[in-house]
Structure 1
Amino acid sequence: MVWQPLLEVLYVLLLTAVCGRIIYDTNNTAKTLAYLLLVVFVPVGGMVFYFFFGINYRKRTLYNKKIVDDYDLWQRVKKEMYERSVVAYQQATDADRPDKRLVRYLVKEMSPLTAGNAVTLLTNGEEKFPAVLNALEAAREHIHIEYYIYENDNIGRAIKEVLIRKAGEGVKIRFIYDDFGSRSIRHSIAKQLRAAGVETFPFFRITFMALASRLNYRNHRKIIIVDGEKGFVGGINVSDRYINNGGQRGSYWRDTHLMIEGPGVAYLQYLFIGDWNFCSGQKIQNVRQYFPDYKLVERPGDKVVQIAASGPDSAHPTILYSLLFALHQAEDEILITTPYLIPDQSIMDAIVVAALGGVTVKVLVPAITDSKLVGWAARSYYESLLSAGVKLYAYQKGFIHAKTMVVDRKLAIVGTANMDYRSFDLNFEVNALVYDTSLATSLATVFENDLNDATEIDPTEWVRRSISSRLPEKIARLVSPLL
């Protein structure tokens, strides 16, 4: 054909331009190489994938505005909270006193250390949702809710009814739902809440024309704040799937959440207000009313809490760095639960170094994931971990969705961040760090109970698997930075 040589030349020029764009625009070396492999070896389709999922056309303009709003907000409340960080560190008992480097880092990232908290460990929806409904019913002044997945099902409608009723009683309610994760409620619950006077906004609205730039950079946080005094954070979305009511084996969902009461809620409130200012186009006035004066409030407990949060608006990958600090401080034991184990090289190295240094490292992952490609990519890391002495367990009872870590039974981490590139780089996430031996021991007990429903992966058998089993994992590993 006459046109074929010309088309080939145009394609090569286009491919060269796209490769140049990838190299210029992508700072992560592993991700850069993955995208380059994709566009070179998957003709046309690789470039389409990159332009749909790899580029955020508005990141600089939109998120820079959010950073400014957040910084301006924080100037109003940070002085008092910084002062409290020093007091909280001094008040912690020797057994519970946190690693100073980790504390200093998170304080530098504007997350204060707080003492005098009550923290309740909630496993699965059976424990979380009754506690949430009770807290919402008791609200006097305001309720702030922010979720990645909120579904139009029984629990979604039950919470909606409480919100509508509390709005009718004069409680100020603000509701943020991720426009991708919660797309099922756009034309149902979201509309009903707005009609009842609940201020409701999607985070980073998706339209067909903007699809290319908005499937990444989602709000993966799950936050509830009631009256600035009680907060919820963890891995459990609003969905009936998290409530295990005797269904068939395999439909069981294991997840973990926290209820925090006390000054530790303040940073969750700060995160919510920053996200609200961004997605609503508003700027909340008289913001100080949403941060109680904890000098006048009786201490609800004795737990020391700090919050780690990060996203595309962060100057640094705060959650990634906080996990690295936690891993490096381990002396005896690390217990990790994650549904998606696709660590970047720094996390991988930290886990391997800890295991080689004599730290007992146990990692619990799902036996079956909700994505074959993600499962293959995750399993590609197992051999290196097993050879370093890490003990890997595959959860058999159902799907384990919890994102937790216990270090030396002194530090407990529960949050929304998976141990993967997406959580560290692409999504808005939040983790709670509790420096407390009793809570860390309780979370370790939950981990040990989960091992009763898991099978340990034998290192010898793992390396003897057939080439046909291992080849898809090796291939998936090449694109793991994109998952």
Structure 2
Amino acid sequence: MLAQIDTKWILLIEIVYVLIVIGVCIRIIYDTRAVSKALAYVLFAVFVPVVGVIFYFSFGINYRKRKIYSKKLMVDEKLAKRFREKIAEADRNVYASHNPSIIQNKDLYQLLFNEKTGRNPLVPNNKVTLLKNGEALFPELIQALKEAQSHIHIEFYIYEDDAIGNTIKDVLIEKARQGVEIRFMYDDFGSRSIRKTIVKELRKSNIAAFPFYKIRLMPVANRINYRNHRKIVIIDGKTSFIGGINVSDRYINTGKNKVYWRDTHIRIDGPATYSLQRVFLSDWNFSSGESLGIDSTYFPLYPFNKKATANMQVVSSGPDSDLPNILYTVIKAISLAKQEILLTTPYYIPDEALQETLIIAALSGIEVKLLVPKESDSKIVNLACRAYFENLLRAGVRIFLYEKGFIHSKTFVVDRTLASVGTANLDLRSFDLNFEVATVIYDENIAQQLATHFDEDCQTATEIQPQEWFKRSKSIKVTERLVRLISPFM
């Protein structure tokens, strides 16, 4: 009798579990944009009982259309309208100019100015300063912070409780004493070490400090999965910083570092700061519950500097955007190339569209160069990245493995007339899960400078020789391909 009851309960549990798996599979198919990623989750849910379902609910649910990310920037409608009109006029004037970079890449401009990709304006008269590594960035940043008069807005993925982190903290506290309005936003996962130290000190000094999307017990894994990877500093609404460098001593090469850290940041003096300001305020309102809007405090009238010639667009993407805007930006820029494409990324785990776009470009006679670290900071990620190399090499893409240290830059240069510096890696996480931001710079001078940096970095790298790469042992190739199967989860 008891055996019959136990059998019935087991059968009932099995039926319920099968129904749950079917429901999960339907949700995966409906909710996941990338076919390869959907297939990976379906197979995992079906063939790894219980664990596969739990894993999907923890890491795989697509929050892109969920209400939790629908909180938008609250603005005064009249001011917002005036702002849009002002930007639109500047945008039309720049687009109507005879800048060769804009003419060659007009389709990219139109893509980013589309309503569905964020209506990102093209703004002129920006002075862009390239900052190579932390030892160039931090002195420049600290001096700019000290000169702030109105407000300072800071947003970082990683902010550590170390020498440089405390130096910047002390500057912020001093500026707050002088009456400067300061907002400090940090990712609750990437900057978890400062919650009980630096954050408390800032708050004691009446500085507003908030984590982005605070990690709570439920659902902890999914909150960890969707992180703010942006690195933005805005000063007085006129000067801004953006790039790959976080606030940490390891980004400063003193000669005592265990690993040489190669990274790229830029300083912007000009109206492109408006676009970064909008990104920051949107993130801030979401995190803090405030409703800061577009007004003259944060968007001051900026005297256009005719000597500053860089034309720029700023594009952001994340779970709150309908489309993977930065991925589309990279793909479109590659498709517009006529002669050369230079890509630098610490992690190369592309989706099918990006991989095929690079292959098509190389097969079309365009010189495509990809610069990545020889050794990643994760062995499993390193294996996943290398699994994508063979098809690129067979198409003629030249791949360089950086050996001097770890290269963390996120840049591309097209035909030495168009360039981009941002926070997004060329991987699935940056394109689909993280909150990211990137600049698109229509300026031959900046593009040439970045290309020169690329050429210099390649001098301390080893180029993969295709025939030697193809001869590697089968065990290595099989291992890489097995790891590649789980790359959608990375």
TM superposition score normalised by structure 2: 0.93
The separation in 1 between residues aligned to 2:483 and 2:322, in whole angstroms, is 30
* Local SS of the residue matching 1:290: coil
* Local SS of the residue matching 2:342: strand
> What amino acid sits opposite 1:352 in the alignment?
I
Instruction: Describe how 1:432-471 pairs up with structure 2 within 5 A.
Output: 432-471=439-478
1:42 to 42, 48, 53: 48
Aligned partner of 1:291 in structure 2 is: 299
Distance 1:236 1:444, change over 3 A: same
Aligned partner of 1:424 in structure 2 is: 431
> What amino acid sits opposite 1:171 in the alignment?
V
Aligned partner of 2:186 in structure 1 is: 177
1:255 to 254, 260, 263: 263
The separation in 2 between residues aligned to 1:99 and 1:145, in whole angstroms, is 32
1:164 to 163, 168, 173: 173
1:231 to 233, 237, 240: 240
Distance 1:247 1:158, change over 3 A: same
Distance 1:439 1:298, change over 3 A: closer
Q: Is the 8 A contact 2:126 2:305 kept in 1?
A: no
> What amino acid sits opposite 2:323 in the alignment?
H
User: Deviations for 1:374-418, whole angstroms, at most 9, x for unmatched residues?
Assistant: 212111110000000000011111111111101000011110011
Aligned partner of 2:67 in structure 1 is: 61
2:27 to 9, 13, 21: 21
Query: Could you tell which deviates more after superposition, 197-206 or 13-22?
Result: 13-22
Aligned residues: 480
> What amino acid sits opposite 2:260 in the alignment?
Y
**What is the CA-CA distance between 1:75 and the residue it aligns to?**
4.2
The separation in 2 between residues aligned to 1:463 and 1:216, in whole angstroms, is 35
Query: Could you tell which deviates more after superposition, 139-148 or 22-31?
Result: 22-31
Distance 1:38 1:373, change over 3 A: farther
Q: Is the 8 A contact 1:409 1:444 kept in 2?
A: yes
Query: Could you tell which deviates more after superposition, 218-227 or 71-80?
Result: 71-80
Distance 1:261 1:97, change over 3 A: farther
Aligned partner of 2:126 in structure 1 is: 117
**Identity percentage of aligned residues:** 51
> What amino acid sits opposite 1:127 in the alignment?
A
> What amino acid sits opposite 2:433 in the alignment?
L
* Local SS of the residue matching 2:229: coil
Aligned partner of 1:32 in structure 2 is: 38
**What is the CA-CA distance between 1:480 and the residue it aligns to?**
1.6
Q: Is the 8 A contact 2:95 2:102 kept in 1?
A: no
Distance 1:85 1:297, change over 3 A: closer
Superposed CA RMSD: 2.0
1:208 to 213, 217, 221: 217
Q: Is the 8 A contact 1:261 1:300 kept in 2?
A: no
**What is the CA-CA distance between 1:304 and the residue it aligns to?**
1.1
* Local SS of the residue matching 1:215: helix
1:198 to 202, 207, 223: 207
Query: Could you tell which deviates more after superposition, 297-306 or 307-316?
Result: 297-306
Instruction: Describe how 1:7-156 pairs up with structure 2 within 5 A.
Output: 8-55=14-61, 60-66=66-72, 69=74, 75=81, 77-91=83-97, 93-94=99-100, 97=103, 99-108=105-114, 109-156=118-165
* Local SS of the residue matching 1:173: strand
User: Deviations for 1:360-385, whole angstroms, at most 9, x for unmatched residues?
Assistant: 00000111112222212111110000
**What is the CA-CA distance between 1:287 and the residue it aligns to?**
2.5
User: Deviations for 1:30-50, whole angstroms, at most 9, x for unmatched residues?
Assistant: 211111122233333222221
**What is the CA-CA distance between 1:290 and the residue it aligns to?**
1.1
**What is the CA-CA distance between 1:106 and the residue it aligns to?**
1.4
User: Deviations for 1:216-275, whole angstroms, at most 9, x for unmatched residues?
Assistant: 221110000101111100100111110011135x61111101101011111001111111
* Local SS of the residue matching 1:65: coil
Aligned partner of 1:375 in structure 2 is: 382
User: Deviations for 1:116-149, whole angstroms, at most 9, x for unmatched residues?
Assistant: 1110001110101111001100101011111111
> What amino acid sits opposite 1:197 in the alignment?
N
Aligned partner of 2:227 in structure 1 is: 218
User: Deviations for 1:280-331, whole angstroms, at most 9, x for unmatched residues?
Assistant: 101015633211223x454461111111111111122111111111101100
User: Deviations for 1:397-451, whole angstroms, at most 9, x for unmatched residues?
Assistant: 1111111101000011110011111111111111111111111111111111111
Q: Is the 8 A contact 1:149 1:237 kept in 2?
A: yes
**What is the CA-CA distance between 1:71 and the residue it aligns to?**
11
- Unpaired runs of 5+ residues, structure 2, are none
The separation in 2 between residues aligned to 1:247 and 1:292, in whole angstroms, is 42
Distance 1:464 1:240, change over 3 A: same
> What amino acid sits opposite 1:284 in the alignment?
L
Aligned partner of 2:365 in structure 1 is: 358
Aligned partner of 2:309 in structure 1 is: 302
Query: Could you tell which deviates more after superposition, 13-22 or 420-429?
Result: 13-22
Q: Is the 8 A contact 2:187 2:228 kept in 1?
A: yes
> What amino acid sits opposite 2:216 in the alignment?
T
Distance 1:98 1:281, change over 3 A: farther
Distance 1:263 1:384, change over 3 A: same
**What is the CA-CA distance between 1:95 and the residue it aligns to?**
5.5
TM superposition score normalised by structure 1: 0.94
User: Deviations for 1:39-64, whole angstroms, at most 9, x for unmatched residues?
Assistant: 23333322222121112569611211
1:320 to 318, 327, 344: 327
> What amino acid sits opposite 2:445 in the alignment?
S
Aligned partner of 1:411 in structure 2 is: 418
Q: Is the 8 A contact 2:122 2:312 kept in 1?
A: yes
The separation in 1 between residues aligned to 2:376 and 2:366, in whole angstroms, is 28
Q: Is the 8 A contact 2:64 2:321 kept in 1?
A: no
